Structure 1
Amino acid sequence: MTTNQTTHPSVFLDATAVLDGPLPVEISMEPIRHGAPFAYERVLYDAAGAFFAVWACDAGVYPRVKDKRGSFMYIISGEATITDEDGTSHELTAGSVIVLPYGWVGTWDIRETIRKVYLHTTPVPPYRAGVQPSAFLAAVDVLGGDLHAPVAARVASWAPPVAETVVFDGPDGRCAVQERGPGVFRRAAAEGASYLYVISGEATVTDEDGTSHELTAGSAVALPDGWAGTWDIRTTIRTVHVDTAPIADK
C-alpha cells in the first residue's frame, strides 16, 4: 500500500518478558523513608511525551510528587498501598490499575515486591489546577468485572470496544479497561498514541510494513503517534488501554 504519510512501527514485549523477564536497568528510589534503595526496569518504549516500561521494587515507603508527568500503572504482582496527600488510600494487588496524574502528591508503601507495567506521559494543556487525586480500579473489576457502556466518542473508531470502564480521562491521557470482539480491523495513521497491556484474549497486530506481533495475556505493545496497521482479533481481547494526545511538535 502506498501512503504519503510517514507511519511509525509498533513496539512489542511478549508475555514471558513482561511477567517474568529480567529487568536490567537500576533506578534510584530517592527520596526514601525506608526500604529498598533501588528499583529495576526494562524499557519497552521511550520517545517524546511517553515512557513505557516494566518495573519492580522491593518493600519500602516512598513519598512522591508528580510535578513533571503523569503515570498509568497495571500491577502484575505484589502488594502496596498508595495514599494521596488528602489521606485517600488504595490497596494495590495483582490486576489493579492506578493512575497518578500530573499534580498528584502522595506516598507509596510497598509491602511485598511490586512488579508493574507503567506508562509516564507528558500532559498537554489545559492542565488541572492544584493537587490531583489518584484514580483507581480494583483487580476484581479489571480482571473479571462487567465493563459498562456507552463507549466515549474519543476512542479510536477503527474498532470501537464493545465495553469499557474508564479509569481516568485528562490531559495526561485516557485510561480504560476495554474489550474488543473478534474481527479484522484496519487502523489508519492515528493522531495520538496507544499503549496496551493484554489481560486476556488473542490477537495479531500487523504494522504497515508487514511486521506482526502475537498478543496474548501478559504481553504489552506501544502503537506510537502516527501508527497504522491491522488488528486481527481471534478471541475477545481485554486490555488496559491508554490513549495519549498527538505530540505537539510532530
Structure 2
Amino acid sequence: MINALKMKTCVKPIALLSLVVCSASFQPIGRVPQHRTSTPLYSYLDSLQQEAPQASTQPSVAVNGAVSAPVQAEASTATPSFISEWYGDIGYFGLDNLRSKGPRPTADWGTPADATRKLADDGTLRTGSWWCSEGGWPSSNPKGATEIFYVVSGNGCLSDKDGMKHYFGPGDTVIIPKGHEGRWDVFSDIHKIWAVNAHERIEDPSPVIRVQVDGYHTFAPQYLTKNTGYDPLYSSSYEGISFNTFYDVGPTKTGVWTCGAGSFPVTNGKKSFFHLLEGVLFVTDGASGLSRRCEAGDTMMLPEGWCGHIDVIEPSKKLWTTAE
C-alpha cells in the first residue's frame, strides 16, 4: 500500500565511468528519470498542489563535473530494496496523505490536533512527517528517544524543564534529546520532517536536558568544513564534499552535508536519514542495481553498511542524521 503511494519509479542505474566495489553483483547503470529544476524548500507546500511531473530521463554520468544529456527512461523489474521502500518525495508527505491523530487531550490553550505519516522504521532509526495546528500542551514525561526535525512551515516553541524557551520556524532544524522534559507551543500550524533514534540510554547527563535549534543560515559555506579525509555519511574522501556536524551526542549525530556536481562510490555507508534541502542527486544501491533520483524536498533512509554510488547532478545540500 505504501509502495503504491510513492510517486517516483525505481529504475536501473546508468553506466558510470567508475565502478562500485561491492560484495553483491552490480549492474551497469541503466536509465533514470529526467531532471527537472529543483525548487526552494520554502515553496514546499505550494509544490504539493502542482501536478506530479511526467517521468523522463537524465543520466548520472559525471565527467569533470559535467552531466550528459537526457535519455529516454526504462522501467525496472529489479528486486525492491531501501531505494524503493525507504524513500518519500514531497508528495508522500503532502498534508492530504497524513493520518489524523485527533486533538491533544492535555492541551492547555488552543485546540491542537496533529497528523502524521511514517516513511521508514528499522527498529532503531525511523523517519516520517508530522503536522499540528495551533495550541500548547505540557510535555512532562521524559522523551523516550532523540528526535531531529526540519521545519517545513509554521512557528513554535519548545521549552525546557526550567522554562528556557527555544523558538523555531521554517528552515530551522530542531533536536530534542532523549530524556527531555518541558512543553510544546504551536503558534502557527507546523509541518515538519522528522527522524528518531531510539537508542538505549539517556546520553545527556545534565540536570536539565535542553533542546537545540540550528537555523538555515548556519548551513552557509563559511560554516562548513571541506572534506580532507572521510565524510561522516559515506566515509568518502571525495574532495567536492563539505559538511558540519552540529550535534554529536552518544549514538546520534546530525549535521549538514553539501557536494558539487560529481560522482563517488560508497563501500560502507552509515545507517542514516537525510532530507534534501537543495539540488538533485542519485543514490544507487549496489546490491539491487536500483537507482533513486532525489530532489529538494525528498527524504530517504539508508541501512547500515550499504554500498553503491552517489551521483550529484546539481550542487546539493542535505540535512542528515546517523544512528549507531
TM, length-normalised to structure 1: 0.84
Rounded Cα–Cα distance in structure 1 between residues aligned with 2:202 and 2:258:
29
Identity score, percent: 20
**Matches of 1:80 and 1:89, distance apart in 2:** 10
Counterpart of 1:47? 122
Map 1:34-183; keep pairs closer than 5 Å. 34-64=109-139, 65-124=141-200, 127-129=203-205, 130-142=207-219, 144=220, 146-149=222-225, 155=232, 156-158=234-236, 162-183=241-262
Matched, 1:3 2:24: yes
Preserved contact between residue 254 and residue 321 of structure 2 (Cα < 8 Å): yes
Deviation at 1:116, TM superposition (A): 0.3
Take 2:112 and 2:277, find their aligned partners in 1: how far apart are those partners? Answer: 30
Taking a change above 3 Å as real, the CA distance of residues 149 and 193 of structure 1, as seen in their structure-2 partners, is same
CA change 1:95–1:42 in 2 (3 A) is: same
Partners in 1 of 2:231 and 2:276 — Cα distance? 21
Q: What is the Cα deviation at residue 28 of structure 1?
A: 6.3
- Paired residues, what number? 241
Is the 1:201–1:236 Cα contact (8 Å) retained in structure 2? yes
- Alignment match, 1:18: 93
Task: Encode CA deviations 1:182-231: one digit per residue, 9 max, x unaligned.
Answer: 221211243x4110001101101111212221111101010022322211
Q: Cα–Cα, structure 1 residues 48 and 224, in superposed 2: closer, same or farther, change >3 Å? A: same
SS in 2 for 1:141: helix
Partner residue in 2 for 1:211: 290
Q: Which has the larger radius of gyration?
A: 2
Quote how far apart the aligned CAs of 1:150 are. 6.1
2:271 aligned residue (167, 180, 193) = 193
| Whole-Å separation in 2 of the counterparts to 1:183 and 1:150 | 15
Cα RMSD for the two superposed structures:
2.7
Is the strand fraction higher in 1 or 2?
A: 1
Gap regions ≥5 residues in structure 2: 1-21, 26-80
Q: What one-letter code is carried by the residue in structure 1 that aligns with 2:218? A: D
Q: Give, in whole Å, the separation in 1 of the partners of 2:209 and 2:308.
A: 36
Cα distance in structure 1, aligned partners of 2:236 and 2:104? 40
Distance 1:218 1:159 in 2: 26
